[in-house]
Structure 1
Amino acid sequence: MSAILPPSERLWWKTPISGQEWTWIGIAFVWAMIMFVMMVYWHINGKQNLSNEVYKTTTEMFTAKTEAFVKENTIRTETDQQIPVAKPNAKGEAFLLARLWAWYPILELEAGKTYKIHLSSVDYNHGFSLQPTNINIQVIPGYEHVVKMTPTKAGTYAIVCNEYCGIGHHTMLGRIYVK
């Protein structure tokens, strides 16, 4: 039998499965079960998968929350566009808004403290990829994602949009400073 030529018998699916094929089906099934169990194990003990909360919201509500957060917590502005740099509020919450083609505002965190970062988009699907760490979340309009994070090392971390969001996608970068 060849993969290029049509099957010699019209009802090829009624042909009995050979022993070698059963062996490969068994190996594939066992491997799938191992990976299924490992997904649960990695999620609980691996600490590389984020457990984030997601809430339904509107773009207007989240934009208002973000603007209120920026108004109360801005410590300075940066870049040519005068993007505000904000510290989290007293409860350790910060808001990040994704919109064509920017992350707003820039956040300044302290190493060793745990924060809840609220993420949402006002226009299209965007990707929140925090570099060089392994945090990667799809940010969808109409949903507020709450991510718990505890930065351990000081430095400047880049936020990269990894979901194509239009012609200016390549310029959609943000920053998080850790002091």
Structure 2
Amino acid sequence: MTAILPPSDRLWWKHPMDRQETIWIIISFIWCMVMFAMMVGWHFFGKQNLATETYKVDPAAFAERAEAFAKKYTVRTETEQEVPVVAPPEGSDVYMIGRLWNWWPILELEKGKTYKLHMTSMDYNHGFSLQPINLNIQVVPGYEHVIKVTPNESGTYAIVCNEFCGIGHHEMVGRLYVK
């Protein structure tokens, strides 16, 4: 029997396994078990999984909360669309909406202070990717994603949509300032 041609007897599973096949199957199985154990270990000890909360939400109610938040904490507007830049106090709930094709509003947070970031999408699945630190969250319509964030470096960060959401997907960028 060769590996290139199919066996003449179509009941190949009834043939005895070669020693090399057995060794490779054993190595593959052991490697799968090692990777499985590492996934469990990374989850508990790797500190690379976000501790997020997700709730079902009415998009209209979320939009009202986000607009009230933006109205209360707006410090200025930016871009030609006059997107509000909001600077909330420490410990407050911060709201962000993803919709075709922008992230609203622009956030201005303080270094070393903790905030609860609430996000949802108003239309399609969007990917919240905070660059250059590569924090990724899939933002789904009808669900509110809540994340505790504590910025530890000052600077300007880009928020990029990394889930294809339509013809204007390449323009779906936002900003986050950390002072």
How far has the Cα of 1:29 moved from its partner?
Answer: 2.0
How far has the Cα of 1:90 moved from its partner?
Answer: 5.4
Alignment partner, residue 121 of structure 2: 121
Contact 1:48 1:134 (C-alpha < 8 Å) held by counterparts: no
Q: Percent identity?
A: 61
- Partner SS for 2:133: coil
- Partner SS for 1:9: coil
How far has the Cα of 1:89 moved from its partner?
Answer: 4.8
Alignment partner, residue 54 of structure 1: 54
Partner AA of 1:40 in structure 2: V
Contact 2:91 2:114 (C-alpha < 8 Å) held by counterparts: no
Q: Does 1:107 align with 2:128?
A: no
Q: Distance in 2 between matches of 1:164 and 1:12?
A: 44
The Cα offsets for residues 97-142 of structure 1, whole Å up to 9 and x where unpaired, read as: 0000000000001111122111110100000010011310111101
Alignment partner, residue 96 of structure 2: 96
For structure 2, list consecutive stretches of 5 or more residues without a partner in the other structure: none
For structure 1, list consecutive stretches of 5 or more residues without a partner in the other structure: none
- Partner SS for 1:16: coil
Q: Distance in 1 between matches of 2:89 and 2:67?
A: 13
Contact 2:91 2:113 (C-alpha < 8 Å) held by counterparts: no
Cα distance, 1:92–1:34 mapped onto 2, change above 3 Å: farther
Q: Distance in 2 between matches of 1:6 and 1:145?
A: 52
Instruction: Indicate the larger mover: 162-171 or 45-54.
Output: 45-54
Structure 1 ranges of 4+ moved more than 6 A: none
Alignment partner, residue 166 of structure 1: 166
How far has the Cα of 1:61 moved from its partner?
Answer: 1.8
Q: Distance in 2 between matches of 1:88 and 1:7?
A: 70
The alignment's TM-score, normalised by the length of structure 1, stands at: 0.92
Instruction: Indicate the larger mover: 26-35 or 102-111.
Output: 26-35
Cα distance, 1:36–1:133 mapped onto 2, change above 3 Å: same
Partner AA of 2:40 in structure 1: V
Q: Distance in 2 between matches of 1:13 and 1:136?
A: 44
Contact 2:118 2:146 (C-alpha < 8 Å) held by counterparts: yes
* CA RMSD after TM alignment: 1.6
The alignment's TM-score, normalised by the length of structure 2, stands at: 0.92
Alignment partner, residue 74 of structure 1: 74
